[in-house]
Structure 1
Amino acid sequence: MKPADRLSEFVRLSLAQGGDAQTIRAALGQAGWSAPEIEDAMSGWLPGQPPVPRPRPYASAQEALLYGLLFVSLGVVAWHLCQLGMGLIDYLIPDPGEYPVAPGSSERWSIAALIAFTPVFVLLSRQVARLSRDDAGRRRSLVRKWFASLTLMVAALVFLGDAIWVIYALLNGDLTLRFICKAALVAVIAALVLGYYRDEMDG
């Protein structure tokens, strides 16, 4: 039995025997358990006869597949939207002295990826929303929170990288209209990703 499980079982038995929460905390502290460990174990049970277990986070291999596919499809869609937008900006706002370059294989590849992955992302998003609506306990999924945290970290890093990119161009005197449009495109896509996961860390 894991130490955390042993601790939780001790709390359950103590509460079942009528032990006071403060007395249990004091006994565990004297035994050498840390305050966060004690609070985590105590929060798992609602005092009563018998003690009632509180809902706990969980992990599921099936949900790892679901949220992993959702994470990958969101990343592919965001990346190729950005690539397609960059190509469009290059075409609409060419550098002075350059001829506009018509969309080529890179843009066609992005369009193909969007056609393939956008329906996957939409379907998975609807499935996740339906599962959460039908069973609020799904929001306690550790896998869900891990992928949400990873996505938010990547989006935040993109925001910071975009800001560094803009500041460097400004200091270097290269802040052109085309550059501003590209930086704005990256910021908007990162903001949309952040908005999509804005409430995933709650609950």
Structure 2
Amino acid sequence: MAAGSAELERFIEQALIAGHSREPVQQALLDAGWSQAQIDGAMQQWASVDFPLPVPRPAASLSAREAFEYLVLFTALYLSIWHLGHLLFALINVMLPQGGNTFFSVVDSSRVRFSVSSLIISWPLFVWLSWRIARAVSRQPLKRLSTVRRWLTYLTLFIAAAVLIGDLISLVYALLGGELSLRFALKALVVGTLSGSVFGWYLHDLRREEEPA
């Protein structure tokens, strides 16, 4: 795969040096079997400027500080979503207790306190880091191509999709077995809403980042 990508980049460079415009080069590559995504990715390495030779765009670089910020950002996101879900589950248990359970038998106050404490720290941290990174990207758009950010975004999409699929399977299973209660349905709704929101947001963000600069 890496060798093929290098050959593609070398072909585009030589074609541009020879004076061919981008459209015929793209069409020739499509006819040869290259995908549009592969062609676009290779073409984006060369700036559309009026100059006799193809001018390369600056390559994205990653500093240790950026990697640290992204790792903390996504860790704060995971903590926020997990503990928000736990608090909503506890609220559902209080509103719809099973049998003759009382508030103290359906809710572990120490776990609720821990989730509240985690949210107080992790959510503001996530919001602040998101704002900080967005400001840095607006000043230097090339930062949006960060390798660490892309990997963590795809990992987040995978986790959110897996949780959402598992949630739907559990919901259908309970429905087919005649065991679907309001309490279970509300918890499934919480899981689906949280995972679906994360998936939708980062999918949109990823698509926006992959647009040509």
Q: TM-score range by the shorter chain?
A: 0.7 to 0.9
Paired-residue identity, %: 37
What is the root-mean-square deviation of aligned Cα atoms in Å? 3.2
- Determine the structure 1 residue equivalent to 2:101: 98
Tell me, yes or no, if the aligned pair for 2:89 and 2:187 is still in contact at 8 Å: yes
Asked whether 1:144 is paired with 2:145, we answer no
Deviations 1:114-165 (A, max 9, x none): 1221221111111122112222222222222221111111111111111011
What residue identity is the alignment partner of 1:85? Answer: L
Tell me, yes or no, if the aligned pair for 2:60 and 2:143 is still in contact at 8 Å: no
- Determine the structure 2 residue equivalent to 1:169: 174
Query: For 1:84, which of 49, 71, 87 is the aligned residue?
Result: 87
Q: Any stretches of 5+ residues in structure 1 without a counterpart?
A: 29-33
Asked whether 1:44 is paired with 2:45, we answer yes
Inter-partner Cα distance in structure 1 for 2:44 and 2:84:
44
Tell me, yes or no, if the aligned pair for 1:63 and 1:144 is still in contact at 8 Å: no
Query: How many pairs does the alignment contain?
Result: 196
What residue identity is the alignment partner of 1:194? Answer: F
- Determine the structure 2 residue equivalent to 1:119: 124
Q: Quote the offset at 1:96 in angstroms.
A: 2.3
Inter-partner Cα distance in structure 2 for 1:13 and 1:109:
60
Q: Quote the offset at 1:182 in angstroms.
A: 0.8
Inter-partner Cα distance in structure 1 for 2:12 and 2:86:
55
* Change over 3 Å in CA distance of 1:180–1:35 after alignment to 2: closer
What residue identity is the alignment partner of 1:44? Answer: Q
Deviations 1:75-106 (A, max 9, x none): 00000001111112111210123333354211
Inter-partner Cα distance in structure 1 for 2:53 and 2:64:
32
